[in-house]
Every structure is written in structure tokens, then in C-alpha cells.
Amino acid sequence: MALHELLFGCVDLRGLDDEGALQWRADGFFRAQRCDGVTVRGVASDAEAVAELLRRGGVLEADGPVYRARPNHEVVDFGWSSEASEAATNLDADFARQLGSGRPDGLVDQLRAVAAGIPGSAGERGVLARARAAELNAAAPQVGSHRVFMPPFNGADAGALGVDDAATRGWATWAEWVPARLLTSTNSEAWGAIDRNPRRDTIVQVAEWLRAAVAGGTVDGWMAEMFAHDPMLLHRLEGPAGPVYEVLRGTHRAHAARVWGLPWVLGRVHVERLAKPLQPRTRQLEALWEGLCRRGLISATLEGGRWYLSEAAAEWMLTPPAMATRWNAMYERVYPGALQSFTGLSVDELFDADRWAAALLA
């Protein structure tokens, strides 16, 4: 397959190209704009990858799959130049726009309401932060990264099911306001407990700075410092009712946003883990995947012991039951009822590893 075939698989990008809605350069860099003005940029080697990245970025809508995992002989294992990467990640103007005309309606009023609940005493702020973190850990514990399409580090890396030689077909990124409640994973797994040396009291300081900004009429400056200076990097993970986000950079700010109940965070959203060939590591896991297929929860072809997905609305369901049910529970908290509707399973079957396995194997 040659790079830049606009017609590939089930995808035809010729219309977008003719309209000038899509720029796709010879070095793989692409760019397209959403109807709300957000620009999605990235690099990709084939039209399926471009279409899937634009779909996840909200530029394209599709009634069915636009992308499938493929054997290496069907796709280009695509590297990208520094020029392409720089073009895709130069988001300064995008962040400036989001802080101005692109901010959510009523955001400043919402931040004022948050600030009104922040104590004036530093000691009281610390006590309240610890109490809210404890409540958050009980009600909305974080989940670890599932790494489904990544090759495992070792035998203990249970959620990584990719193969070592799979082709990389592209990634995309853009600046966007994200509801803070959708931040479900960081590299410090307990809310409010960030192991850094030297220790930084950023979680409490964010509240102090917001309170001062509201009092001084400098909320715009607070937002710029909070979100545009070394922006948060948010890995978008798909689900049947909407995405959730793993925080790759900006752990302190993410914890502060959740602990203090900020309504939104502005970050650089990143999509890179498109479906790659998978290999079940046990016969039981393969049987569970067969059960997912029977229930219509995934669609895949099997060739040479490798699975090639064409549809998986909840990729984490491919992981072993203990991990899959943790993710199920998290997703049901964020999108109540979504997985029950999507799967036809009960809460007990979704949340309990043994019952989940039994339901898929039935």
C-alpha cells in the first residue's frame, strides 16, 4: 500500500480532500477542523487511521467502523519526521483560543462558586483537601492503564495484549476543555496522594490561588497559568457512551481538579493507541474474547493466532476479568447505566470478575 491513498479499506477521504476540509501532507502530517473551531492535528500512514483519528476527535461522524487492525503486510509501519511532529503539536494558538472564545459557557461563574467553598485558612484548606480526597477515593477510585494494544513488559503486565512487531499507523492531538469528572487515571493512583521528592503542596495551593484570583478579579490569569503553561496531557480512551481520560502529564493539577470539584480542565488531548493485532495470552482469555464476539461487544477476525479488531466500543473488556470489571465499574460510575444498556448484563455481572467471566463463557 502506498502512503496517501485517499481510498483504503472502507474509507474514502477524497471528498474531504476535494473540499479542502482535510490537509494531509506527504510526511504524514494531517489537519482538519471541527464545526466548533477545534483543530485536530496528527500524523498517519493510511486513510483508515486518518478517518479513525478524526472520528475520535469529533471531526467525522460514521454509522459504522472506519478502521480495523491489519497485518503488517497491509499497512505502512509509519515513522514521522520531526517537522511533522512539531506541526502536529504546535498548539499555542489553540490554547489561546480555548482560553478566550472557546471556554465553556458559564465557566467563570462556576469557578467563583468553587472558590466560595474554599476556606480562608491554610490549615482548614489542608484538612478539607484530605477529607475530599478520602471521599473521592471511596466513591470514585482510579483505575490503572489497561494498555490493551501494547506488548507486555513482562508476565505480570496482564492488561497488555499487543504483539511486538505491530505497525504504528498514527496519532492525533488537539486542545480541548474536558469535564474534570472524566479524569479517571493518573500516575499517582490514590487521589490526593502524590509521591514526589521534594514534596509539592500543589493540590492545596491550586485552591488558594483560585480563591485569590476570584477575590482579585484575575480568574482569566489563573486559568492561563493553570492550563496553558506546560499543558496537561490527557490520553483519550473510548467507551460506548463517551470517552474517559488518563492523565499522562499534569498529575498535581488533575488531582486538584478532582479534589476541589472543578467543572472543567483544559488540556492537550492525545489519541495514539489505535487497535493493533492482539494475541490472547491464555486459552481462557481467548474463550472470553469469543464470548465478547458472540454478544456483539467486539467484532474481529482471527488469522494465524492473532486477532484483528474492526469494532470494540469498550476496549478494556478484552483484558482479564479482574481488570475488565474494575474498568466496568469505573465507567458505570461516570456514565450511569451505559454498560448495562450496551451489554445487556446486570451490575453484578459487570462488576464481579467471576460473574463477568461466567456471563461471557455461557
Residues 160 and 247 in one domain: yes
Cα–Cα separations (whole angstroms), residue 144 to 44, 103, 159, 187, 284:
27, 30, 9, 8, 22
Question: What does the pLDDT read at residue 53?
Answer: 96
Is 197 in the same domain as 80? Answer: no
* Residue 277 covered by a domain: no
Q: Is residue 124 part of a domain?
A: yes
Q: Is residue 288 part of a domain?
A: yes
Residues 108 and 250 in one domain: yes
Where in the sequence is the domain holding 344, given as residue range(s)?
Answer: 283-361
Express each pLDDT in 115-162 by its tens digit. 999 999 999 999 999 999 999 999 999 998 888 999 888 877 778 899
Both 185 and 63 in one domain: the answer is: no
pTM of structure: 0.94
Q: Which residues contact 248 (CB under 8 A, 6 or more apart)?
A: 187, 233, 234, 235, 270
CA distance 328 to 313: 12
**Which amino acid, 176?**
E
Q: Which residues of the chain have pLDDT under 50?
A: 1-3
Sequence-distant (≥ 6) Cβ neighbours of residue 336 within 8 angstroms? none
143 shares its domain with 241? yes
pLDDT at 18: 64
Residue 254 lies in a domain: yes
Last residue of a domain, one of 224, 245, 271: 271
Residue 2 confidence (pLDDT): 43
Q: What pLDDT was estimated at residue 12?
A: 77
- Counted residue by residue, the chain has a size of 362
Do 160 and 293 sit in the same domain of this protein?
no
Q: Could you tell me if residue 62 is inside a domain?
A: yes
Nearest Cα to Cα of residue 237 among 191, 279, 270: 270
Q: Is there a single domain that holds both residue 160 and residue 23?
A: no
Of the candidates 90, 108, 129, which is a domain's last residue? 90
Structural domains of the chain, count: 3
One domain, residues 117 and 196: yes
Position 278 in a domain:
no
276 in any annotated domain: no
Q: Quick one: 126 and 254 in the same domain? A: yes
Last residue of a domain, one of 250, 271, 292: 271
Q: Are residues 72 and 20 in the same domain?
A: yes
Looking at the domain assignment, is residue 319 inside a domain? yes
pLDDT at 37: 93
* Residues 67 and 139 both lie in one domain: no
With 0-12 CB in 10 A as exposed, 13-18 as middle and 19+ as buried, what is 288?
buried
Which residue carries 475530599 as its cell?
Answer: 132
| Whether 247 and 222 share a structural domain | yes
